Chains A and B, each alone.
Chain A
Amino acid sequence: GAVVSQHPSRVICKSGTSVKIECRSLDFQATTMFWYRQFPKQSLMLMATSNEGSKATYEQGVEKDKFLINHASLTLSTLTVTSAHPEDSSFYICSAGRSGRNNEQFFGPGTRLTVL
């Protein structure tokens, strides 16, 4: 089956620093990847749609200057949380769809960000 990896799995940082999270499709090409955020005991909230070679599309209420997304290749998308604050602490999950595979999306294992 298709595999999506995320790195790092956990990160702890100080307030004001920036954190980069990588999402990779390991054995397939993904022209589109999605970034979700999950607060404790809540569902996933779509943050943005990342398109290879073009600007990301952000959901309403998500600050694009705060959450920088770069989809540099068909197998890699990065999410950078800039000037992180404690309220940015969350579980960030990416997913990628593989064309012609019955509409299935594959999720990364998630990255838990804790901002002190």
Chain B
Amino acid sequence: GNSVTQMEGPVTLSEEAFLTINCTYTATGYPSLFWYVQYPGEGLQLLLKATKADDKGSNKGFEATYRKETTSFHLEKGSVQVSDSAVYFCALFHLSGNTPLVFGKGTRLSVIA
């Protein structure tokens, strides 16, 4: 079946450090891939997405590239801020919008000033 594996946290970085959160997936065919962010006490927000191989999703300085050859969708940001402290979830699903997402376990990021 479909699954998502992401690096376990927590990850603690200093402000302006480089961030990488690894995400790999197992799926048949060509799933769509997503990164969601959850700020403390809040629900999920879509951060970025990619729907086909070699696509790069980007938003708010975050980027992730859909790599089919390595089945990966690693999240990166060149310079993190304290306001980026949150839990980040990698997710995938197939085809139409009427299928549920498969989530990774989440990675908690803490950025200190």
Contact = CB atoms under 8 A, between A and B. Distances in A.
Interface residues of A, number: 26
Interface stretch (A12-20, A63-71, A101-109): A101-109
Interface string A81-113: 000000000000101011111111111111000
Query: Of residues A42, A97, A99, A108, which shows the largest number of chain B Cβ atoms within 10 Å of its Cβ?
Result: A97
A62 B100 CA distance: 16
Interface of B: 32, 36, 42-46, 49, 51, 89, 93-101, 103-106, 108
A6 B42 CA distance: 12
A54 interface: no
B97 A105 contact: yes
A77 interface: no
A32 B49 CA distance: 21
Nearest to B102: A46
Nearest to B89: A43
Contact of A104 (B97, B105, B108): B97
**9 cross-chain pairs, A with B, having the tightest CB-CB distances, nearest first:** A97-B97, A110-B43, A109-B43, A32-B98, A107-B44, A43-B105, A103-B32, A34-B100, A43-B106
Contacts of B43: 6, 93, 107-110
Nearest to B108: A41
11 contacts: A32-B98, A44-B89, A49-B100, A93-B43, A95-B100, A101-B97, A103-B94, A104-B46, A105-B93, A107-B45, A107-B46
A80 interface: no
B42 A105 contact: no
A88 B57 CA distance: 36
Contacts of B46: 104, 106-107
B105 A110 contact: no
